[in-house]
Amino acid sequence: MPSYFLIPLLSTALILIYIAIHCIYTRGRIDPTTDPDTPVSVNYFPYRKCNYRCGFCFHTETSSYILPIAQAKRGLRLLKQAGMRKLNIAGGEPFLNPKFLSQILQYCKEELGLESISIVSNGSKIREDWLERHAKWLDILAVSCDSFNPGTNKKIGRGADGENVTRLFQIATWCRNYGIKFKLNTVVNVHNWDEDMTIQIQELAPFRWKVFQCLIVGGENDNETRKTDARKFLVTEEQWQTFCRRHKHLESYVPEDNKSMASSYLLLDEYMCFLDKGEGMVTKSESILEVGVKEAMKQVVWDKKSFVERGGIYDWSRPELYMPQQSSYCNGSIGSVKLEKLKW
């Protein structure tokens, strides 16, 4: 065979070898089963205070404690060293303490180099100027929206001004403008199970729409003595399935029933203790600040198989072509660059 045929063949072979090695390496890093003690993705609740009173909330304001920022950073560094790649900040309402939130975002991106940071918010306190300043450190912004009907939102406890939907569309636009992935969370409950959200979801175009079945957590929302009593918000299996069938054709739709949620999330509270919200009463580990990450993880149940099966690993990074200091993508067209879905 002439030598000029060998060069492209060798080049192709080298490329294929590189791709194979890259896929093996990447999948090994992604799959948490390669190391049972690897906290790949952590949901951090830095404080419990919230300005809404959602009647089914399973992480209620039973404490007003906020960890000193230096201790919070130390705990996050321990998690990074143990293998954390993604941090999801929830609450409470994270935007009630924007300074703490800003410090955590900057530290986790610039010092720890986390692959992805997301925030879950009720949307009431998010401002465009804050997003503009912090977009370079934030990969995903998820907003909770249980209805597009103001009256239904009031019944649920999501504010009283009826402006949730207006704010939601504003936030979705800001996220597109600043290159932040927009995500939507919805809890299916007795007040919204028969609502058709198709048109609004298509207009908002979230990259993921997480649809949760209303959940009872012992010690949090399981009876009238708690801050919330979610029993009166529960849906039947048929109501849950009806909502799912109505929306399953939407590309962004990601459903999670009670079985999928139980023990598949690695939860970290305001004291940096892992929470076990599986069956029965909520239990917690000792703080990772006192015993370390691996020892604390042994004290709770985290079902890594369920974590993977429910889609806990996905394309969670921002588009690399987005330049935070600019107001558009490199080609000048916001939204024209689409990341291909990764196959794990």
Catalytically active residues are 50, 54, 57
Q: How far is CA 152 from CA 77, 186, 212, in A?
A: 41, 13, 17
- Asked if 270 and 46 touch (Cβ cutoff 8 Å), the reply is yes
> How many CB atoms lie under 10 A from the CB of residue 97?
18
d(CA 279, CA 259): 10
Q: How far is CA 178 from CA 20, 80, 181, 191, 228, in A?
A: 34, 26, 9, 34, 36
Q: How far is CA 84 from CA 27, 52, 195, 277, 313, in A?
A: 15, 30, 37, 20, 12
Q: Which two tokens stand for residue 239?
A: 């109501």
Alpha helices in 221-262 (DSSP H): 237-247, 258-261
- Asked if 305 and 287 touch (Cβ cutoff 8 Å), the reply is no
* DSSP-assigned letter for residue 265: S
Strand partners, 144: 185
Estimate the crossing angle of helix 69-82 against helix 98-106, to 10 degrees: 40
- Asked if 331 and 337 touch (Cβ cutoff 8 Å), the reply is yes
Residue type, 340: E
Dump the DSSP string for 284-295: EEEEHHHH-HHH
Strand partners, 213: 188
Coil, helix or strand for 273? strand
Which one, of 144, 166, 168, lies nearest residue 156 by Cα?
144
